Structure 1
Amino acid sequence: MSMSPAEQTPAADAAAVLREATFVRLRVYASGAAVAAAGVLGRALRTRNIPFRIRATDAPEPAANDDVAVAVGLSETDRDLELDPRDAVSVTRELGVDPDPAVALAGLHAAGVSPEDDSELMDAATGAGIESRPGVAVPTGDLADGIAHSTLVHAPVSADREAAQAMLAELSLPAELDADAHRRVASLVAIEATGGEATPRATTAVERALHPHATPDGPFETVGGFADVLDATVKEAPGTAVALALGHDVRETALDAWRDHAQATHAALREASTGRYESLYVLSCDLSSPGRLATVARLARDFRSPEPTVLAVGAGAAALVSTGPAGLDEQLAAAATELGDASATGSKQEATITFDPAVDSADVVAAVREVRR
């Protein structure tokens, strides 16, 4: 079963195709927004007894002629449907299924979208005990652990639990945090993340980690923390991230992946050598994972880069992110043709490329600069 590919398939059209599918294959970009969207859709397909498979990998997968191939959060030509992760809730409703509010909200948070305009989703969230409160969006009850390993912010205490603990000790917090204590923690994190080497953009970027929605009955402490774990885990252990988005009990495994990801990416950002070009900030990192490089690039864009677009280059891989839709998938696809045996994937907002590790990073930068002219 196939239809003519069209970017950003409308929710009603997507649901009509999925409703008649005999098997659905969802190919997911390695981002928290995309894997959360796949989780929302997967739960809906499961409710409707439609067999499906979710893969967050670049590896090709053979498909039967009657399978429906869905690309979530990435641009592909060889698919039947191309879905923006932000549309997962609408597609699920078109299928006659109510989306899980915690996963849906985590996906919107990861996508940088406010859910406040969706009164139906917010009502469902309230019914599930999810509520807004002061403080910081972390996944764990241990604030020092949550702040140190958050990839929503980059601050002097990032990837250093002992430093985060010492910072919190200065606040003399009560054993049971009240609203005032949460506010003081949020204020301190905001100050730490926007001072020193931080760029003006950090003042806005840090807001993603503040004013969280608490999830007392969810797998993590807050919606933002859930989104952070999904985004980190899909880059470290895709199968675990998919299982988490589908509701399986993999909390501790996911948290381990989240901590590993934070340690590697914050350290890489601090140690990277940098270069600045017109509208492009480049970091050279000692990393080979496209997913880790994507997080480094995002953190640099939000907290360190004076330019709107950031390229993080490692050994055999690179990631390109920007402050807004900029056709990054097309740019890296074009750059790949200049780098020999290279391949690119992603969306207009974020894309990654893999290439022969023997290729010099200067050649990668030159290829990307050339296609951006």
Structure 2
Amino acid sequence: MSTADRPAESASVASDVAAVCRDAEFVRLVASADGDALAATGVLARALAATDRPFQASVVAPTATAERATEADATVTLGRADAAADAAIPAGSDPVSEVAFRAAEELGSADAVLALAGSTVADATPNGRLREAAGVSRRPGVATPTTDLTEGLAYGTRLHAPFSGDPESVRAALADCNLMLAAEDATALDEDDRRRLASMVALRTVGADDANRRAAECVEDALRPHAGGPFGTVEGYGDVLDAVARDAPGTGVALALGHDAREAALDAWRTHGQRAHHALANATTGRYDGLFVARGESQGDAETPVGTAARLLRDFRSPEPVVLFVTDGQAAAAAVEDRQLGATMDAAVDQVGGRAAGSGRHARASVETDTASFIEAFREAL
């Protein structure tokens, strides 16, 4: 699809969603479990609330159906296409949250900061108009959702460095560049300090022994963040939205709707980030032609965030364009470009049993076989 085609197609989708919402007496918003879709849900929900339109918002697992026995006059799915929906904004060439923003504008009220936060955790790039509408500007430094730098660098999932997931390693890294005084209060940093911090983070991320070539490009997403929003930086806001969408959907919906869920959301974000970095750092990896596979260790009763682990593996570790992260009963795949991973995951699950869902660049599955058998099935399907 050419870039010129994208605005017209997105505008058409936005208008269709706005029309469905405008004509319904009750709207049910069903989001895929990721930060972009969650933000889109919040944007539409706030627009509906501003016009006193009743709605219900929920986040569902990637492999779950949007069907539910309710009295909803209309169902709108975000981040997923579903036959049960009256309208949908599937993952595509524009961030889901950006398309939702356009629909909300047609409804009369649109939260640009929330939409921009969601777009920062989408694979698609938002256009300049959304950034302009948000009214935020960039500043030196690193994107975190908290002024505690130790937490921000240890648990944030916008990058994966040798210190990720380990607060003590973060403190040592800060001490090495004379930034320990600001470890618990980033507001103490001046602009030169922020630039020094960003340089340290970039160098340690790219200079890791197992870093891939893509890491140099992807770490830029964590640097020079946009200042603003309820978590200090827009990119930090997006990181929290993505974590709660995947691990604490109830808290995620409350946060996206604008309720007082900050502390609960940060708690979920810390746990999610620690588990994702731990899973990636301790995984056993294998390289195949065009595919990089990581097998995650069990984390006790805690469920491994395989979707986040797969994204980090793709962006910072994998030498191949497609990655597969697997644990007992769960798998996630991610690709640098559109590789129809949803269809690939469907084909793999058809061989071994389970449920799958995905798009061109991402896919998830719940599987009913051992990891070795599933890896072989995915390789054959790919």
**Identity of aligned pairs, percent?**
46
Query: Are the aligned partners of 1:328 and 1:351 in contact in 2 as well (CA < 8 Å)?
Result: yes
Decide whether aligned partners of structure 1 residues 305 and 197 sit closer, same or farther in structure 2, where only a CA change above 3 A counts: same
Q: Identify the residue that residue 267 of structure 2 maps to in structure 1.
A: 256
Query: Are the aligned partners of 1:151 and 1:228 in contact in 2 as well (CA < 8 Å)?
Result: yes
Query: Are the aligned partners of 2:243 and 2:269 in contact in 1 as well (CA < 8 Å)?
Result: yes
Decide whether aligned partners of structure 1 residues 75 and 47 sit closer, same or farther in structure 2, where only a CA change above 3 A counts: same
Distance in 2, matches of 1:122 and 1:139, equals: 19
- Once the two structures are TM-superposed, the CA of residue 293 in structure 1 deviates from its matched residue by 0.4
The one of 198, 209, 229 equivalent to 2:211 is: 198
- 1:47-75 CA-partner distances (Å, limit 9, x unpaired): 12222222212355524576212221123
Query: Are the aligned partners of 1:309 and 1:321 in contact in 2 as well (CA < 8 Å)?
Result: yes
Q: Identify the residue that residue 242 of structure 1 maps to in structure 2.
A: 253
Q: Identify the residue that residue 352 of structure 2 maps to in structure 1.
A: 339
- 1:223-267 CA-partner distances (Å, limit 9, x unpaired): 111111111111111111111111111111111111111111111
TM-score relative to the length of structure 2:
0.88
Query: Are the aligned partners of 1:235 and 1:291 in contact in 2 as well (CA < 8 Å)?
Result: no
Alignment of 1:105-184 (within 5 A): 105-115=116-126, 117-118=128-129, 121-126=130-135, 130-173=136-179, 176-184=188-196
Q: Identify the residue that residue 223 of structure 2 maps to in structure 1.
A: 210
Distance in 2, matches of 1:68 and 1:270, equals: 44
Decide whether aligned partners of structure 1 residues 75 and 351 sit closer, same or farther in structure 2, where only a CA change above 3 A counts: farther
Decide whether aligned partners of structure 1 residues 150 and 203 sit closer, same or farther in structure 2, where only a CA change above 3 A counts: same
Provide the secondary structure at the position in 2 that maps to 1:74.
Answer: coil
One-letter amino acid of the structure 2 residue matched with residue 248 of structure 1: H
One-letter amino acid of the structure 1 residue matched with residue 223 of structure 2: L
- 1:311-346 CA-partner distances (Å, limit 9, x unpaired): 111111100111122222222122222222x11123
Q: Identify the residue that residue 47 of structure 1 maps to in structure 2.
A: 50
One-letter amino acid of the structure 1 residue matched with residue 30 of structure 2: R
Q: Identify the residue that residue 365 of structure 1 maps to in structure 2.
A: 375
- Once the two structures are TM-superposed, the CA of residue 104 in structure 1 deviates from its matched residue by 1.2
Distance in 2, matches of 1:77 and 1:367, equals: 27
- Once the two structures are TM-superposed, the CA of residue 112 in structure 1 deviates from its matched residue by 4.1
Distance in 1, matches of 2:216 and 2:242, equals: 22
Structure 2: segments with no counterpart, 5+ residues = 1-8, 91-95, 183-187
Q: Identify the residue that residue 15 of structure 1 maps to in structure 2.
A: 18
Structure 1: segments with no counterpart, 5+ residues = 1-6
Deviates more, 1:275-284 or 1:63-72: 63-72
- 1:277-309 CA-partner distances (Å, limit 9, x unpaired): 221111111258887001111100001001111
- Once the two structures are TM-superposed, the CA of residue 114 in structure 1 deviates from its matched residue by 4.5
Deviates more, 1:183-192 or 1:84-93: 84-93
The one of 300, 316, 331 equivalent to 1:318 is: 331
Q: Identify the residue that residue 364 of structure 2 maps to in structure 1.
A: 352
Decide whether aligned partners of structure 1 residues 94 and 63 sit closer, same or farther in structure 2, where only a CA change above 3 A counts: farther
Provide the secondary structure at the position in 2 that maps to 1:10.
Answer: helix
Query: Are the aligned partners of 1:75 and 1:346 in contact in 2 as well (CA < 8 Å)?
Result: no
Alignment of 1:245-324 (within 5 A): 245-287=256-298, 292-324=305-337
RMSD: 2.0
Distance in 2, matches of 1:360 and 1:255, equals: 34
Matched, 1:185 2:200: no
Distance in 2, matches of 1:114 and 1:211, equals: 16
Q: Identify the residue that residue 4 of structure 1 maps to in structure 2.
A: none
- 1:117-168 CA-partner distances (Å, limit 9, x unpaired): 21xx434432xxx321010000000112101111111111101112112211
Q: Identify the residue that residue 93 of structure 2 maps to in structure 1.
A: none
Query: Are the aligned partners of 2:30 and 2:59 in contact in 1 as well (CA < 8 Å)?
Result: yes
Decide whether aligned partners of structure 1 residues 345 and 116 sit closer, same or farther in structure 2, where only a CA change above 3 A counts: closer
The one of 24, 28, 34 equivalent to 1:25 is: 28
Distance in 2, matches of 1:96 and 1:153, equals: 36
- 1:173-230 CA-partner distances (Å, limit 9, x unpaired): 4762111111110000000111121010000010110010111xx3202111111111
Decide whether aligned partners of structure 1 residues 65 and 331 sit closer, same or farther in structure 2, where only a CA change above 3 A counts: farther
One-letter amino acid of the structure 2 residue matched with residue 344 of structure 1: A
One-letter amino acid of the structure 1 residue matched with residue 257 of structure 2: L
One-letter amino acid of the structure 2 residue matched with residue 140 of structure 1: T
Query: Are the aligned partners of 1:269 and 1:296 in contact in 2 as well (CA < 8 Å)?
Result: yes
Query: Are the aligned partners of 1:30 and 1:238 in contact in 2 as well (CA < 8 Å)?
Result: yes
TM-score relative to the length of structure 1:
0.90
